[in-house]
């Protein structure tokens, strides 16, 4: 709609074109508001028919329950249509004023430029009366005085024409400003009477809801990123806590939006279900870690017992060897060989367990964050240590650390139990047999974080027959995403 005109606008006291818009540019705007007003009025008529009991459009128990609300909605929609109609009418009145202001300022600029040119030409005319004259110059003639007078008259006329051009521009802009004020009053004239005004509280809620929608999306991404880090790198404290906090805050924000009808209950349900599944997974993982600790303790106990047994066998073998040196019977040599046959494999098995146990420990659970109850008491002395621990673990694992991808689907603890059981079997100790129901933990864990992105979907996306269905599952009437065409901030 911008159509800035060039020219020496400074002659009229303006830095640039004071009316930079073409009147024809309002045609599209006026048509836009007219279409919206017409659409609203049409829908209001349909809602009023439903509210008045017309069953040709809608009938049944649901229709009866909607009739009162339909009448109220029809009234509100008619009032809203009135506002758009007021804008349309105001712009229709404003458009001729815009055309006049643009025309008048253009003519004023033309007059001012002509006046400036005339003044420049007049100032270039001879001025004998005021010119520097030598002392011995001949006296001025009547013709000389007439030439100076003509010059002064033309300069004065040009200056008056320039002032007249400025006055013409000022008058045009004054009338234009008055027309703009009239249009603004027309647009606002019914605002105080149509009961469509938002209270301060409603305006606050509107801004809050937009902020919460952005917060939910940001926290979902942050929570998932921190959760994956916590999964792949065991023992993280602060980051794990932050991932849980991000999820909790995201669910709380989704609940606030859903209560107001600004969000989907599906998002809340998925969020709560995700937190619940995280709890189930943590409980199951805790039990499996206790089993691992118990198996390692059992192995350590068996190692001690079997070590004593091997020491006794070695002592017996040494005693038999001493007997052999003093000329005992050949049967002793056979007994010594039999003992050596037992001691060798037993020692190898025990050394194998020692090596395994020396490299195996129960990794801390992703939910273990130290003692957060100390925070409640105001003790943040360990906060720095926890941060340093997290940074140290990340640096150790990044970029080519010993990642365990089985942690992503939550089966790492089950596999650890199976590894310890296999190692125990080598020293003749019965381990632990994983029960099928124990896979509930990994399944819950996988679903808990994998389903979080789906909390942003609209319910209509689960039904392709729904007319609101689209490939843009995250599309919202007031909020179209962090980088959409309708951003929050």
What pLDDT, on the 0 to 100 scale, is given for residue 181? 93
The conformational region for residue 430 under phi > 0 = left, psi -120 to 50 = alpha, else beta, is beta
Sign of CA dihedral 195, 200, 205, 210: positive
Number of H helices, E strands in the chain: 11, 0
Query: DSSP secondary-structure letter at 58?
Result: -
pLDDT, averaged across the chain: 78
Taking only the tens place, the pLDDT of each residue in 394-408 is 776 666 666 666 666
What pLDDT, on the 0 to 100 scale, is given for residue 328? 57
Is pLDDT of 70 > 90?
Answer: no
Q: Which of 5-9, 169-173, 438-442 has the lowest mean pLDDT?
A: 438-442
Domains of the chain by range and CATH? 9-130+139-188 (1.20.1260), 209-456 (no CATH)
Taking only the tens place, the pLDDT of each residue in 33-49 is 999 999 988 888 888 88
Give the residues across from 2 on adjacent strands.
21
**Candidate ranges 152-166, 204-218, 338-352, 373-387; pick with highest mean pLDDT:** 152-166
- pLDDT band, residue 73 (cuts 50/70/90): confident
Q: Which residue has the higher pLDDT, 226 or 464?
A: 226
* 283 alpha carbon, distance to own chain's centre: 32
Q: Which residue has the higher pLDDT, 236 or 345?
A: 345
Helix (H, G, I), strand (E, B) or coil at 127: coil
What pLDDT, on the 0 to 100 scale, is given for residue 342? 82
What pLDDT, on the 0 to 100 scale, is given for residue 106? 92
Sign of CA dihedral 297, 302, 308, 311: negative
Is pLDDT of 429 > 80?
Answer: yes
Mean pLDDT, residues 304-312: 85
Question: Can you give the pTM of this predicted structure?
Answer: 0.51
Question: What is the rounded CA–CA span in Å between residue 66 and residue 259?
Answer: 20
What pLDDT, on the 0 to 100 scale, is given for residue 197? 62
Is pLDDT of 436 > 60?
Answer: yes
Question: What is the rounded CA–CA span in Å between residue 13 and residue 66?
Answer: 61
Is pLDDT of 159 > 80?
Answer: yes
Query: DSSP secondary-structure letter at 2?
Result: B
Is pLDDT of 101 > 90?
Answer: yes
Query: DSSP secondary-structure letter at 14?
Result: -
The closest alpha carbon to 75, from 192, 191, 195, 186, belongs to: 195
> Does residue 238 have a cis peptide bond before it, meaning omega lies within 30 degrees of 0?
no
Is pLDDT of 173 > 90?
Answer: yes
Mean pLDDT, residues 274-278: 82
253-269 burial string, b = 16+ CB within 10 Å, else e? Answer: bbbbbbeeebbbebbbe
What pLDDT, on the 0 to 100 scale, is given for residue 472? 46
Taking only the tens place, the pLDDT of each residue in 411-424 is 778 888 888 888 88
Q: Which two tokens stand for residue 96?
A: 């001729």
Query: DSSP secondary-structure letter at 407?
Result: G
Mean pLDDT, residues 264-286: 82
Contact 150, 166 (CB under 8 A): no
What pLDDT, on the 0 to 100 scale, is given for residue 476? 45
Contact 243, 367 (CB under 8 A): no
- Looking up tokens 């969000």 gives 263
Mean pLDDT, residues 197-213: 78
Q: Which residue has the higher pLDDT, 135 or 152?
A: 152
Main-chain phi, psi angles of 246, to 5 degrees: -60, -40
What pLDDT, on the 0 to 100 scale, is given for residue 437? 84
What pLDDT, on the 0 to 100 scale, is given for residue 47? 83
Taking only the tens place, the pLDDT of each residue in 465-483 is 544 444 444 444 444 444 3
Mean pLDDT, residues 202-226: 81
Contact 266, 455 (CB under 8 A): yes
Give the residues across from 21 on adjacent strands.
2
What pLDDT, on the 0 to 100 scale, is given for residue 17? 92
Contact 336, 317 (CB under 8 A): yes
Mean pLDDT, residues 427-449: 81
Distances (CA, A) of 375 to 217, 370, 389: 28, 10, 17
Main-chain phi, psi angles of 21, to 5 degrees: -115, 140
Is pLDDT of 381 > 80?
Answer: no
Question: What is the rounded CA–CA span in Å between residue 188 and residue 275?
Answer: 49
Long-range contacts of 174-183, Cβ-Cβ distance < 8 Å, separation of 24 or more: 175/97, 175/100, 175/101, 176/19, 176/97, 176/98, 176/100, 176/101, 179/93, 179/94, 179/97, 179/98, 179/101, 180/94, 180/97, 182/90, 182/93, 182/94, 183/90, 183/91, 183/93, 183/94
Q: Which residue has the higher pLDDT, 376 or 113?
A: 113
Query: DSSP secondary-structure letter at 140?
Result: P
Taking only the tens place, the pLDDT of each residue in 215-272 is 887 887 887 777 777 666 665 666 767 777 888 888 888 888 888 877 778 778 888 8
Q: Which of 170-179, 199-208, 364-373 has the lowest mean pLDDT?
A: 364-373
What pLDDT, on the 0 to 100 scale, is given for residue 110? 93
Question: What is the rounded CA–CA span in Å between residue 391 and residue 474?
Answer: 34
């Amino acid at each position: 709609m911008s159509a800035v005109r060039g020219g020496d606008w400074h002659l009229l006291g303006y830095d640039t074109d004071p009316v930079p818009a073409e009147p024809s540019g309002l045609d599209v705007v006026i048509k836009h508001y007219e279409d919206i007003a017409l659409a609203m009025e049409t829908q209001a008529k349909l809602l009023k028919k439903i509210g008045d009991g017309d069953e040709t459009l809608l009938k049944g128990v649901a229709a009866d329950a909607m009739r009162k609300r339909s009448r109220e909605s029809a009234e509100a929609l008619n009032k809203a249509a009135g506002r758009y109609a007021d804008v349309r009418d105001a712009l229709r009145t404003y458009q001729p004023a815009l055309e006049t202001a643009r025309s008048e300022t253009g003519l004023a600029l033309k007059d001012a430029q002509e006046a400036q040119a005339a003044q420049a030409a007049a100032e270039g005319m001879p001025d004998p009366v005021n010119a520097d004259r030598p002392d011995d110059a001949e006296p001025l003639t009547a013709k000389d005085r007439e030439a100076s007078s003509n010059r002064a008259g033309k300069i004065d006329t040009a200056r008056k024409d320039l002032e007249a051009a400025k006055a013409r521009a000022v008058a045009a802009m004054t009338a234009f400003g008055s027309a703009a004020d009239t249009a603004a009053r027309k647009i606002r004239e019914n605002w105080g009477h149509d009961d469509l005004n938002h209270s301060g509280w409603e305006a606050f809620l509107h801004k809050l809801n937009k902020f919460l929608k952005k917060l939910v999306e940001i926290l979902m991404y942050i929570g998932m990123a921190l959760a994956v880090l916590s999964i792949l790198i065991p023992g993280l404290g602060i980051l794990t806590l932050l991932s849980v906090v991000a999820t909790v805050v995201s669910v709380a924000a989704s609940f606030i939006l859903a209560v107001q009808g600004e969000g989907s209950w599906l998002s809340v349900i998925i969020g709560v279900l995700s937190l619940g599944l995280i709890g189930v997974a943590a409980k199951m993982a805790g039990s499996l870690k206790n089993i691992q600790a118990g198996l390692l303790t059992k192995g350590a106990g068996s190692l001690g017992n079997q070590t004593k047994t091997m020491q006794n066998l070695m002592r017996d073998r040494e005693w038999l060897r001493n007997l052999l040196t003093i000329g005992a019977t050949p049967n002793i040599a056979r007994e010594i060989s039999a003992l050596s046959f037992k001691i060798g494999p037993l020692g190898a098995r025990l050394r194998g367990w020692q090596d395994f146990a020396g490299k195996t420990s129960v990794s801390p659970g992703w939910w273990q964050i130290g003692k957060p109850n100390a925070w409640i008491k105001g003790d943040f002395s360990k906060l720095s240590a926890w941060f340093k621990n997290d940074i140290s673990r990340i640096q150790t694992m990044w970029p080519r650390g010993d990642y365990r991808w089985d942690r992503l689907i939550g089966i790492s603890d089950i596999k650890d139990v199976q590894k310890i059981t296999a190692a125990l079997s080598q020293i003749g100790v019965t381990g632990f047999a994983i029960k099928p129901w124990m896979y509930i933990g990994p399944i819950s864990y996988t679903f808990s974080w994998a389903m979080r992105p789906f909390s942003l979907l609209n319910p209509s996306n689960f039904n392709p027959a729904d007319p609101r269905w689209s490939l843009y599952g995250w599309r919202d009437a007031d909020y179209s995403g962090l980088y959409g065409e309708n951003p929050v901030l």
